[in-house]
Amino acid sequence: MNAPEAEFIPRRSLHDELTARVRALITEGALAPGEKIPEKELCERFGVSRTPLREALKVLASEGIVTLRPNRGARVSALTAAELEEVFPVMGALEALSGEIACRHISDAEIAEIRALHARMVEHWRAGEREPYFRLNQAIHEAILEATRNETLKSMYRGLAGRLMKARYIANMSPERWAAAVAEHQAILAALERRDGIGLSAILKAHLAGKLATVKDWLERQEPPGNGAARQAD
């Protein structure tokens, strides 16, 4: 007889859990770009030895989130303006593709789900609440990605997005840009409802260009121009 509740799950290995945890620390800003990653402290914090943590760091390094210099430890990768210009065309291509594919597979239920997310997001926009706006915004893009049913595309896109998904970018978005972003989202929803892959593809690409502008702007304020290399540590 089989176990009544097969209960797959949490067979996650330690290093796997750690990659997720450290990644979260980084994307949530607890570890700032350029900052050194203190192996010892993280080990104590999570109550694990260095071995699995180091494995996790290697993986994050291969994702580009972390930079590893031989015998000098790990640092959070600092995104330079030049790098941004590199990343965005690639994200644009993937985002466009995701829109195209999503339209071919998305169900009515999924569209309804996104419509609901969109409505809530607009509410937060009206209320000027940036934090929850950002979360819903992200949820919508995630839902579109999910609708592609393409694991490869999902993991590629997430890998790139992970390098710049900081809630704080949105903090200094101008009201005009913000309004434009909401309008773009309106168009995104409309294209989805028409299942217009080509159209959605184009809108998403434009939408991303807007985001690029926002992030570049944010970056400027972080590293005042003329200062080639950002501060190494705090």
Q: Which does 50 bind (CB under 5 to 8 A by kind): a copy of itself, DNA, none?
A: DNA
Choose which of 58, 120, 135, 177 interacts with a copy of itself (CB under 8 A): 58
Partner in contact with 115, chosen from a copy of itself, DNA, none, beta carbon below 5 to 8 Å by kind = none
3-state secondary structure at position 80: coil
Which helix (H) or strand (E) element contains residue 58? helix 50-63
Q: Does 221 bind DNA (CB under 7 A)?
A: no
Q: Which stretch binds a copy of itself (CB under 8 A): 20-28, 122-130, 145-153, 173-181?
A: 145-153
Examine residue 25 and tell whether it contacts DNA (CB under 7 A): no
Per CB under 8 A, which of residues 78..97 are in contact with a copy of itself?
83, 86-87, 89-90, 93-94, 96-97
Q: Does position 55 bind a copy of itself by CB under 8 A? A: yes
Say if CB 230 and CB 34 are below 8 A apart.
yes
**How much is the CA Rg of the chain, to the nearest whole Å?**
20
Tokens 């978005």 belong to 173
- Return d(Cα 229, Cα 80) in angstroms, integer: 8
| DSSP-derived 3-state class of residue 102 | helix
- Per-residue mark of binding to DNA, 55-94 (x: CB under 7 A): -------------xxxxxxx--------------------
The stretch among 107-115, 144-152, 171-179, 189-197 that binds a copy of itself (CB under 8 A) is 144-152
| 154: CB partners within 8 A, 6+ apart | 145, 146, 148
Say whether 230 sits in a helix, a strand or coil.
coil
Give the C-alpha separation, 161 to 223, whole Å.
Answer: 21
Q: Which residues contact a copy of itself by CB under 8 A? A: 11-13, 15, 51, 54-55, 58-59, 61-64, 68, 70-71, 83, 86-87, 89-90, 93-94, 96-97, 101, 150-153, 155-156, 160
